[in-house]
Amino acid sequence: MELRAYLAILWRRRWIVLAAPAVALVAVLFQAVQYQPRWTASAAVLVTRLPQETPSDQYRYDEYYLYLTNEYTVDDFTEVIRGNVFATDVAQRASELLGTPVEPGEVQASVSVTRRNRAVLLSVTSTDAQRAVVIASAAVAALRERGTQYFGFADPQRQVIVQVLDDPNSAVPDTMRTRLVWVIQLVVALVAGVFLAFLADYFADALYTAEEVQRALRTPVLAAIPVASERKRRAP
C-alpha cells in the first residue's frame, strides 16, 4: 500500500485520530489544574573517622585500615539515616524550626539517601519548598551533632567527623519530569488514535477508491461517477 493510501485512511478516519489526543488533552489539563509540584532539597556530607592513635613502635599500615573504616562508616550512615531514631531527632529539630509539628513518619517518607565514595547524598522531597529545606537542614544538623552517638561510641578516639559539602539552602520543583509525563501521555494518545483509525478502516465494509473496487471485485473499472461536491466544483 502506498503512502498516499495510508494518508487517505487517516483523513477518512480523522475524527478517530483526533479523538484520542483530545481526550488525553482534557485529562492533562485536569492534571495541570490539580497539580501540586513536589520540591526537593539536597545536601551532601563527607563522613570520616578519626585515625586511631598507634604506639610509635607499631606499624600503621599507611592508614589503610582508616580508609577501610571510613568506607564502612559511610555504609552504616545510610542505614542510620533510614532509621526511626534519626527520623525522630530530625522531626524534633524541624518542628522547632517550622513552629509546626513534624512527624517522624513524614521524615522517613520524605528522606532518601545514597552514597558516593565517602560522601553521603541526602534528598528531602515535600509538597512545600520551605518544609523540604527545613527538614534537610535539620537532618544535616543531626548528623553533625550526633553522628558519633548513633554508633554508640563513647571513646573520643572513635569519633565520627561529618563535614558538610553542600548545604540545603533551596529546593527545586519536579515540574520538568511532570511535563515530560504529560507530553508522553499526548504522544501515546496520538499513536493510539492512529492505530484505532487503521483498525476501524480494516473492519469497514465500504470501498472508497477505484483501486479498492478493482482489487475487491477483480474487475477493471471503466468509469467513476464523482460525488456531488466534486460535480459542483467542476461545473462551469
H/E run at residue 172: strand 171-173
> What CATH number does residue 76 fall under?
3.30.70.1130
DSSP state letters, 40-99: EEEEEEEEEEPPPP--TTS--GGGHHHHHHHHHHHHHHHHHHHSHHHHHHHHHHHHHHHS
60 lies in the same domain as 148: yes
142 lies in the same domain as 48: yes
96 lies in the same domain as 212: no
Query: Considering only CA atoms, which of 233, 218, 189, 228 is closest in space to residue 17?
Result: 189
**Per-residue pLDDT at 86 exceeds 50:** yes
Q: Which of 125, 155, 173 is the last residue of a domain?
A: 173
Residue 124's pLDDT is 92
Range 26-32, long-range pairs (CB < 8 A, 24+ positions): 27/185, 28/182, 28/185, 28/186, 31/182, 32/182
Query: Considering only CA atoms, which of 108, 106, 139, 134 is closest in space to residue 122?
Result: 139
64 lies in the same domain as 145: yes
Q: Which of 121, 138, 173 is the last residue of a domain?
A: 173
60 lies in the same domain as 142: yes
> Which of 26-30, 78-82, 128-132 has the weakest average pLDDT?
78-82
State the total domains in the chain: 2
Residue 65's pLDDT is 46
Confidence class for position 191, pLDDT limits 50, 70, 90: very high
Q: Which of 153, 173, 193 is the last residue of a domain?
A: 173
Q: Which residues contact 53 (CB under 8 A, 6 or more apart)?
A: 157
The residue segments making up the domain with residue 215 are 3-34+177-234
101 lies in the same domain as 167: yes
**Per-residue pLDDT at 111 exceeds 80:** yes
